[in-house]
Amino acid sequence: MKGMIFTRLIEMADTMLGPDRVKMVIAEACLPSGGAYTAVGNYPHSEAVTLLDAFSAASCMPVRDLLGRFGEHMLEYLHRRYTAFFEKCPDAFSFFESIDSYVHVEVRKLYFDAELPRLVAARDSPGRLRFDYHSSRHLEDFAAGLIRGTLRLFLENANVTQTDASGEYGPCIRFIIEKQHPPSHVL
């Protein structure tokens, strides 16, 4: 797993728990890396799981909620760092549709060894998008946070539901994103 994930996770934990508490939590986690990460390094997925469990216990926040919050935090970072990915899209659905065919292609140019999920987006109607997340790492709550962050970035309201759509092609979580229009006001 890319070190950028670890450094951003620790950054978020610092804001939640404070740097001193985070250092203590990392030390108590007895990580093989010692908790020292660089953004360009590669680290075992198991260390991310250990860190998430440790930060979950320290914050009294369920891992699922912590992952969602981390997805939103990561989206803010990605938007600041890679603004061009977002600027080329007029709305959230267009951005979601561009992730596998454009964003992930560019990510692989920078990090040829990145293990990215496969994402398949399809519009069922103008206001409804089916977004399939294929990954054996089961970070669907992180993906849900990224989705919420993207909708917020594009100032769009939507209901997001997720179901298990795993099958012969392996693990898959299907997100259904339905845009909600603000209620019209009667004068």
Find the mean pLDDT for residues 98-123: 87
What's domain 83-179's superfamily in CATH?
H-NOX domain (3.90.1520.10)
- Using the predicted structure, report yes or no on whether residue 187 has a pLDDT greater than 60: no
Please give the single-letter amino acid code of residue 76: E
Inform me whether the pLDDT recorded for 103 exceeds 70: yes
Report the b/e string of 50-74 with b at 16+ CB within 10 A.
bbbebbbebbeeeeeebbbbbbbbb
Token pair 């600027």 in the structure block, residue: 87
Which pLDDT band, with edges at 50, 70 and 90, does 106 fall under? confident
Percent of the chain with pLDDT over 70: 97
Q: What is the mean pLDDT of residues 147-162?
A: 96
Domain ranges of the chain: 3-61, 83-179
Pinpoint the alpha helices (H) of the chain.
Answer: 3-17, 19-29, 45-59, 63-81, 83-87, 92-98, 104-110, 140-153
Percent of the chain with pLDDT over 90: 74
